[in-house]
Chain A
Amino acid sequence: MAVARLWRHIPARYNLIGTECQICGGLYFPPRTTCPTCRRDGKIIERKFKGTGEVVTYTIIYSASSTFRRQTPYVLAIIRLDEGPQLTGQIVCNPDETKIGMKVRPIFRKLGEDGSSGIIYYGTKFTPLREASK
């Protein structure tokens, strides 16, 4: 990934900063620069999401690209954040324990890297929300 593109993604990836339309109240992640409902009348501001949510659906990846091959099998899910927006993310857990409707919380992990000498991408993954892990 180009360094400039990675850098632009840092607020969204590290802290789940998306956007909100102050006119219609629409919440967006990843961030949108224009409100799809209000169009040019919309007023977009930054909105930080808590990161807790639930699994809408998921798949288990057994055959991955070279960047992710060491991590197989791993869980890729669509997560509905508590505030409403849905996003795709990795769930760090035993694939067998993944369930639709499972509550998750955000964790900070390495998302990938450009080989051994390139840039490292960090950001948010998810893990099952357990009582002990406040």
Chain B
Amino acid sequence: MIGITSYGAYIPCYRIKVEEIARVWGDNPEHIKKGLLICEKSVPDLDEDAATIAVEAARNAIRRRDIDPKEIGAVYIGSESHPYAVKPTATIVAEAIGATPDLTAADFEFACKAGTAAIQACMGEVTMGMIKYGMAIGADVSQGAPGDALEYTAAAGGAAYIIGKKNLIAEIEDTFSFTTDTPDFWRREGESYPMHGGRFTGEPAYFKHIMSATKSLMKKVGTKPGDYDYVVFHQPNGKFPLRMAKMLGFVEEQIKPGLVVSKLGNTYSGSSLIGLAAVLDQAKPGSRILMTSFGSGAGSDAFSMTVTDGIEETRGKAPTIAELLKSPKYIDYALYAKHKGKIVV
């Protein structure tokens, strides 16, 4: 049996509302809110980046289960905003959680699904007996060019998962990935902001990949949508996951508990992993969860999980997603631009 031994998340306290971004660019905020089903998004502090967010999430994961960091044999960080082009974020995190030096570590990149790819890598190493625990993190300070539609959603946050065979809070029954070369979203080396194919990011990218991975996983495991209590999909906005759920035959009661994008935004590599954390915060032993990530470029990783009795021991040990979203500090566009380094002097 393999699965999640612990999890932790982190979300910066700053927020900017859709109305404030729309005011600057002359957009109609109601159209944006209705179109994207998003009200506000998180913004990193001036001294926060993907590494600091990953460290806070990782420390919350360790705190939740009192894991000895020296037993973590691999730390993998998925992000598309690693602070260095060359020098791993993973070594910073491994050092900061006290897991060094007897471990392996690496940074993963696959747009918004690098964190779930890291979970799969940990699953392989744990299954093979190479390591006792592996830590997989998805963390981003997402980029969206000023005035681009992405600016309404590109947010900051992350979640960390400790994968192991012992002390599980959720068993991972199986995983399935679906990957093709689909150029729906990209950022060239040295460029500050990504570009995307507009509507092309929908049908041939997000919907095709999540649908294929999810259907194939359910076929492999022998389940149908009604067998799951919760379903989590990558959340680039509020609309896509809801439509995806409907297309696959899931109902709103299954997807709503993990749908946190309207008050958080799209945390890229953190997105589906924070959604899963929100579900684990409230899931009961025996609950079944299906999670499918999506990374542009493009691919999806789907996971079928069942929550174990161990989940009850972890309550209250680390902040929940609801607690992390509580008491936001709202900032205006000028301060947001300063926080995001959009003002260059």
Contacts and interface: CB of A to CB of B under 8 A. Distances in A.
A126 B338 CA distance: 22
Interface residues of A, number: 17
Given A14-B95, A134-B317, 4 more contacts: A15-B96, A108-B55, A122-B92, A125-B47
B323 A132 contact: yes
Contacts of A108: 52, 55-56, 59, 96
A109 interface: yes
16 contacts: A14-B95, A15-B95, A71-B47, A109-B45, A109-B48, A110-B49, A111-B47, A120-B49, A120-B51, A122-B51, A122-B52, A132-B319, A133-B319, A133-B323, A134-B316, A134-B317
Given A14-B95, A15-B96, A110 B319 contact: no
A10 B326 contact: no
Contacts of A134: 63, 316-319
A10 B95 CA distance: 8
B340 to A, nearest CB: 12
Contacts of A125: 47
B56 A15 contact: no
Interface in B38-87: 45-49, 51-52, 55-56, 59, 63, 83-84
A129 interface: no
Contacts of A122: 51-52, 55, 92, 96
Interface in B310-345: 316-319, 323, 326-327, 338
A15 B52 contact: no
A75 to B, nearest CB: 13
Contacts of B286: none
B146 interface: no
B183 interface: no
A60 interface: no
A110 B48 contact: yes
Given A120-B84, A122-B96, A109 B52 contact: yes
B35 interface: no
B98 interface: yes
A64 to B, nearest CB: 12
The 9 closest A-B pairs by CB, nearest first: A108-B55, A110-B47, A109-B47, A14-B96, A108-B52, A132-B323, A71-B46, A109-B52, A70-B46
B226 to A, nearest CB: 36
B318 A92 contact: no
A41 B63 CA distance: 38
A100 interface: no
Contacts of A14: 95-96
A92 B95 contact: no
A111 B52 CA distance: 11
B319 A15 contact: no
Interface centre among B52, B55, B83, B326 (most CB of A within 10 A): B52
A107 interface: yes
Interface in B275-332: 316-319, 323, 326-327
B277 to A, nearest CB: 15
A71 B327 CA distance: 22
A92 B83 CA distance: 21
Contact of B98 (A15, A70, A109, A110): A15
Interface centre among A71, A108, A132 (most CB of B within 10 A): A108
Contacts of B45: 92, 109
Interface centre among A14, A15, A92 (most CB of B within 10 A): A14
Contacts of B48: 109-110
Nearest to A90: B47
Nearest to A13: B96
Contacts of B46: 70-71
A111 B45 CA distance: 12
Interface string A108-134: 111100000000101001000000111
Contacts of B49: 110, 120
A132 B326 contact: yes
A10 B101 CA distance: 13
Contacts of A10: 95
